[in-house]
Amino acid sequence: MEQKQKSELTKQLILDESFKLFYQNGFKTTSVDKIMKATNLTKGAFYHHYKSKKDLGLEIISSTLQKRVYDGMITPLYQDGNVLDILESTFSGRLKSFSLFAKKHGCPMNNFINEIADEEEAYQIALKRIIEEWKAALVHLLERGKKENTINKSYSSNAIATYLISSFEGVRGIRKLYNDDQILDEYINGLSLYIDQLKA
């Protein structure tokens, strides 16, 4: 079993280093050479574990990116408590928790979406899966709010979920243009106003 363990470790190293580089410099302009330089391994190792750069990209999406969104934006939605509070704390709390690096480089998933989703259907499908699960979690939470009479029943949960996700991903891109957090503060302000108006 020792061999399989080492193999897994190497794959994880490639995954970790490539994610960092994709996040910093984009997917297309990060070469396999650069990735393997960061791992201190060689190209031979890369092509032993992945059949292509595209193959690696798909695994980054379905493992690293998926996990990030789950941990940061989906799992928190399933906690107990007031629906409006959960919405507010999940969205604005996550924004406030970002490092300078994360603010500068935006949302890694959104970066992938904007860079390659319109070029390869395989990427599109893998990324869509994450968004759909995020949306489903939001809809589930909003439906609970309607049952508990904290969310206005006349509003479409799908519409609210889509609007929330869109604005969140949007501002993570726009923040790249600035060197301070004013735009994030304004966003949180606008978000808070929006959530407040979802009340029953």
Binding site for a second copy (CB under 8 A): 25-26, 28-29, 104-106, 110-111, 113-115, 117-119, 124, 127-128, 131, 155-156, 158-171, 173-174, 176-178, 183, 186-187, 189-191, 193-194, 197
Query: Is 189 a binder of DNA (CB under 7 A)?
Result: no
Amino acid at 38: A
Here the tokens at position 15 are: 């995954």
Which of a second copy, DNA, none interacts with 97 (beta carbon under 5 to 8 A by kind)?
A: none
Which range, of 35-43, 120-128, 133-141, 174-182, touches DNA by CB under 7 A?
35-43
Contact 107, 114 (CB under 8 A): no
Contact 155, 161 (CB under 8 A): no
Amino acid at 137: A
Contact 110, 173 (CB under 8 A): yes
| Number of Cβ within a 10 Å radius of residue 137 | 20
Q: Which of 29, 82, 149, 158 binds DNA (CB under 7 A)?
A: 29
- CB nearer a second copy, residue 9 or residue 200: 200
